[in-house]
A and B are shown apart, each in its own frame.
Chain A
Amino acid sequence: MPRARSTVLALLTAALACGGCGGAMQPDELSRSIGTLESAAAEGALLGADVDRDRTKATFARAHARDLGDVVDHEAEKLQDASANGLVAERKAAAVDLAGRISEALGQIQTAPGSEREGRSAASDLTRYGNRAGKLAEGL
């Protein structure tokens, strides 16, 4: 019986550790978060490039840019709420700032899904932000 109880306790501890409940943000959690931002920026760049070349449907560009923006905003909220120390705290603050920029560039596509000029500008910005996110996650 004591053995069964200690097994249950160990499983619960492992589950809590896996779930990342409580405590300061760990580098791998931040890395996953930045990965989400990088992915959204890269996808937004692809979408923006298609808006630029008039190769997409405006309704799709608008709705999909909005979806991507929601993902980025949600990630920014999670980052903002998490506590962190040292290098992780520095990178976390940079990631929150980057999320704001990515969201803004996606907003450009959402607002003007038929404008080739806006699409080009958003694609260029999002490519830059995606690269920046990649560098931010390095060494975590």
Chain B
Amino acid sequence: MKTALQIALGVIAAIGGFVDIGDIVFNAQAGASVGYPALWAVPVGVLGIMVFAEMSGRIVAVAKKPNFVLVKERYGPRLSTFTLVASLVLTVLTLGAELGGLGFVLNYFFDVSVSFFVLIAVIATAAAIYFLPFGGLERIFGYMGLALFVFFAASIKLDPDWGEIGRGFVPEAHGAAVYWYFVIGLIAAALMPYEIYFYSSGAVEEGWDERDMKVNRANAFLGFGLGGILAVSILVASTQVLKPAGITPDSVGTVALVAEVPYGELGLILAFVGILFAVGGATIDTAFSAAYNLAQHQGWKWGKRFKLLDEPRFTLSLAGFLLAGFAIAQTGVDPIELTEYAVIFSIPVLPLTYLPILLVGGDRAVMGRYANGLLSRVLGWAYFALICLLAIAAPVLFVWTNGGS
């Protein structure tokens, strides 16, 4: 029970990572466009992030090194700077999209103006980061995001065809480019680089050591597993509601409508509460991830575990990234499109993010008896090969399918 309550880091990393504003709509689009046959892609992606999250948490527990420190140590200065710049660009774009998404969700509740609520969202996020301890941030945004389980309940209440759902979890050969576009997007959404940067730095914030191996495994498997269930639920419920009606979801409002169909106003409110905290969690993930990466690359003192005022460079960079995200959101760019571009174009950077984890995780000189076992090694390298394949296929499919349309 105690361990179950300690999985907030995994929950917020997972929810913020693959049930963020873009992915919520992307999952719904996959359901509305391809339907159940795309389902198998979610567990494939989720298992991948579980493997790498467990490995990176284990590295923190033994070597006390978060992921960007590994990047810096294993790559030369040029490649680590390239990895930093690429990850910062993608993370800050995603941060802007999340803030824009928060503006939309709040506007559905109060109908004033999206840009006004983007301002409120950035102020609330800054206040939460400043006043709440790291554990408080994890618990509030992680657990409140679980209101998204309304989609799980909705998918059951809508009386799905369980046989079709079961067949959806078996990969099938398919000729349609749109099918592969969604499959690759769903796998990639689970492996977004900022999740792993946030997770490993969060483990340092929580002070994990060798006694926390069980907590790490629980976070990696239960936390990310819960995120995966939510992603599957949105896809299944959207297949039931949107696909037969011929609706292509382009906004978060359409996704909330999926919960309204079976449960009326209560479903709508629960969906928006879940989306609000999940997207809020993603905002926290991305803001911290950008600041952690920069600080770790530059060798600055970093972390929420110390007083923010005692670490001015880290705190200023955190504030700067929030402001940059705010500026992006205020341009009025569509947050959904922005995150979809970020997901697809983050894929080529994925190998650079995950390779150091594999190398250090398997290094007995660093990890001692906690080095990767046979299963971790096989799964890790198999997923690394898959990530390299995705890195080539994703941009090609994006152009070929006109963004899945």
Residues of A whose CB lies within 8 Å of any CB of B are 15, 18, 32, 35-36, 38-39, 42-43, 45-47, 50, 53, 55-57, 59-60, 62-64, 67, 71, 130, 134
Count chain B residues whose beta carbon lies closer than 8 angstroms to a beta carbon of A: 25
Mark out the residues of chain B between 105 and 126 whose CB falls within 8 Å of any chain A CB in the assembled complex.
107-111
Determine if A57 and B257 form an interchain contact, defined as CB atoms under 8 angstroms apart: no
* B289 contacts partner chain A, Cβ-Cβ < 8 Å: no
Check A46 against B261 for contact (C-beta < 8 Å). Answer: yes
A39 touches B260 (CB 8 A): no
Contacts A60-B253, A60-B268, A62-B111 given; does A55 touch B260 at CB 8 Å: yes
Verify if B248 is at the interface (C-beta below 8 Å from A): yes
B365 touches A (CB below 8 Å): no
The reply to whether B265 and A55 form a contact with Cβ atoms under 8 Å apart is yes
Residues on B with beta carbons closer than 8 Å to the beta carbon of A59: 108-111
In the complex, whether B246 has a CB less than 8 A from a CB of chain A is yes
Could you say which residues of chain A place their CB within 8 Å of the CB of B268?
56-57, 60
Contacting pair A36 B248 (CB below 8 A)? yes
- Work out how many contacts link A and B, with CB atoms closer than 8 A: 66
CB-contact partner of A42 in B247, B256, B260, B265, under 8 A: B247
B246–A32 touching, CB < 8 Å: no
Cβ contacts under 8 Å, B256 to chain A: 60
Which residue of chain A has its CB nearest to the CB of B267? A55
Q: Are A50 and B109 in contact (CB under 8 A)?
A: no
Asked whether B331 is an interface residue with its Cβ less than 8 Å from the other chain, the reply is no
Say yes or no: A18 contacts B399, CB within 8 Å.
yes
A45 to B110, CA, bound (A): 22
Q: How far is the CA of A67 from the CA of B254 in the complex (A)?
A: 10
What would 29 A/B residue contacts be, using CB atoms closer than 8 Å? A18-B402, A32-B405, A35-B248, A39-B246, A39-B247, A42-B245, A42-B247, A43-B254, A46-B245, A46-B247, A47-B257, A50-B257, A50-B260, A50-B261, A56-B260, A59-B109, A59-B110, A60-B108, A60-B109, A60-B253, A60-B256, A60-B272, A63-B108, A63-B253, A64-B108, A64-B253, A64-B257, A130-B246, A134-B246
Contacts of B260 in A (CB 8 A): 50, 55-56
**Using Cβ atoms and an 8 Å threshold, which residues of chain B touch A15?**
399
Q: Are A57 and B269 in contact (CB under 8 A)?
A: yes
Q: Which of B251-299 contact A (CB under 8 A)?
A: 251, 253-254, 256-257, 260-261, 264-265, 268-269, 272
Which of chain A's residues have a CB closer than 8 A to the CB of B337? none
Residues of chain B lying within 8 A (CB to CB) of residue A18: 399, 402
Question: Is B250 among interface residues, defined by CB-CB distance under 8 A?
Answer: yes
A42 touches B264 (CB 8 A): no
Cβ of A28 to closest chain B Cβ, rounded Å: 10
A42 touches B246 (CB 8 A): yes
Task: Report how far A46 CA is from B256 CA in the complex, Å.
Answer: 12
Residues on B with beta carbons closer than 8 Å to the beta carbon of A36: 248
How far, in whole Å, are A36 and B110 apart by their CA atoms in the complex?
27
Residues from chain B with a CB closer than 8 A to the CB of A38 are 246
Cβ-defined contact, A71 with B250, below 8 A: yes
Given A46-B245, A63-B108, also A57-B265 (CB < 8 A): yes
B247 to chain A: which residues have CB within 8 Å? 39, 42-43, 46
Q: Which chain A residues border B402 with CB–CB below 8 Å?
A: 18
Identify which of residues 73-131 in chain B touch chain A, using a CB-to-CB cut-off of 8 Å.
Answer: 107-111
B198 to chain A, nearest CB (A): 31
CB distance from B157 to the nearest CB of A (A): 14
Given the complex, which residues of A lie within 8 Å of B251, measured CB to CB?
64, 67
User: Which A-chain residue is minimally distant from B111 (CB atoms)?
Assistant: A59
Residue of B nearest to A19 (CB): B402
Q: Which residue of B lies closest to A65 (CB)?
A: B253
10 A-B pairs closest in CB distance: A55-B264, A59-B111, A64-B253, A39-B248, A42-B245, A60-B108, A43-B247, A63-B111, A42-B247, A39-B247
New A-B contacts (8) at CB < 8 Å, excluding given A35-B246, A56-B268, A62-B111: A42-B246, A50-B257, A50-B261, A53-B264, A57-B265, A59-B111, A64-B253, A130-B246
Q: Looking across the interface, which residue of chain A has its beta carbon closest to that of B110?
A: A59
Cα distance A18–B268 when bound, in Å? 38
Expressed in whole angstroms, the Cα–Cα distance for A53 and B260 within the complex equals: 12
Q: Which residues on the A side are within 8 Å of B264 (C-beta)?
A: 50, 53, 55-56
**What residues of A have a CB within 8 angstroms of the CB of B245 in the complex?**
42-43, 45-46
CB within 8 Å of A: which B355-405 residues:
399, 402, 405
Q: Which residues of B contact A71 (CB under 8 A)?
A: 250
**Minimum CB–CB distance for B383 against chain A, Å:** 32
Contact residue among A35, A43, A63, A130 (Cβ-Cβ distance under 8 Å from B107): A63
Q: How long is the Cα–Cα vector from A71 to B247 in the complex, in angstroms?
A: 13
Give the Cβ gap from A27 to chain B, nearest Cβ, in Å: 15
Contacts of A57 in B (CB 8 A): 108-109, 265, 268-269
A65 to B: closest C-beta gap in Å: 10
Q: Which residue of B lies closest to A32 (CB)?
A: B405
B113 and chain A: residue at smallest CB distance: A63
